[in-house]
Amino acid sequence: MSLVVVRTVSEVREHLAPIRHDRRRISLVPTMGALHAGHASLIAEARADSHFVAVSVFVNPLQFGPGEDYLRYPRPLDSDLDVCRRVGADLVFAPDVKDVYVSDQRTFVEVTRLGDHLCGPFRPGHFRGVATVVAKLFNIVQPDRAYFGEKDYQQLCIIRRMVQDLNLGIEIVPVPIYRDVDGLALSSRNAYLNEAERTAAPVLFRALMLARKTIEEGERKSSVVREAAGSILAAQPLARVEYLQIVDPIEVQPVDEIAAEVRIAGAVWIGKTRLIDNVAAAPG
């Protein structure tokens, strides 16, 4: 089947109606475009599990705050479509803003508590924008499954909780972080890095890996683990740390004493580019 590209909500529903009528399993991979190998891994995972794979390509203005990079966020739709064809997507929904937000938005979805730490304090309103647009995409596509990368781990937890709390009946499938050979988590924003910044960028992953090793070797105090990881970041002059925290893997709340599996998550600025990453860790 050749790739179908649609622009409007009505086109999505018209195209998916016979798929749903035949009780074929529909999967959705929500993206903001600028697709890379990490996105391709999400689509490939969906392809392996599903009868029909839909990919949304939409740069959502609701999740960008003042001074963030909404206007300069990359939008290479032609190359995105090439990726979708190569990996086996069936449909791409690439709407204009006016097709998603047909009037001034007065209804929002907000998951409380899970956005209180990590990225939440630094990006006010971001997760409300994410939850709102994902809820809209779920209502438009009505998938059986939706695939999200673990790089945006806090987002994954929030979407999973939204689906649970609103009884949406959609299976949320997490997909492991896709990394470059030096450990850097793939991100559309990596394209902003110049050569020196790209060389410096894997410092966050190295810090997270040291934190994981420290936990696995027996350290239980989060403060000690953070200090060890922080020393790696402090040694890189191009890195400005936004946060480095250890949280539980469900509610995303800070953990002081590590007694079970945790997520170690960090955000750093390399030049003018904000990078996030996380790893799981468990006491040895």
Question: Given its phi and psi angles, is residue 252 left (phi above 0), alpha (psi -120 to 50 degrees) or beta?
Answer: left
Distance CA 106, CA 144 (A): 27
- Choose the catalytic residue: 39, 51, 117, 126: 39
User: Which residues, at least 6 apart from 17, have a Cβ–Cβ distance to it below 8 Å?
Assistant: none
15 catalytic? Reply is: no
Burial classification of residue 119, based on how many CB atoms lie within 10 Å of its CB (0-12 exposed, 13-18 middle, 19 or more buried): buried
Strand ranges (DSSP E) for 9-51? 26-31
User: Which residues, at least 6 apart from 63, have a Cβ–Cβ distance to it below 8 Å?
Assistant: 125, 126, 127, 129, 130, 133
Query: Is there a contact between 204 and 193 (Cβ–Cβ < 8 Å)?
Result: no
Whole-angstrom CA distances from 118 to 33, 114, 175 are 24, 9, 20
Q: Are strands 273-281 and 26-31 parallel, antiparallel or unpaired?
A: unpaired
Closest CA to 107 of 139, 74, 129: 129
Strand ranges (DSSP E) for the chain? 4-6, 26-31, 52-57, 91-93, 145-149, 171-175, 239-247, 262-270, 273-281
User: Which residues, at least 6 apart from 221, have a Cβ–Cβ distance to it below 8 Å?
Assistant: 256, 257, 258
Closest CA to 116 of 254, 273, 255, 266: 254
Q: Catalytic residue positions?
A: 39
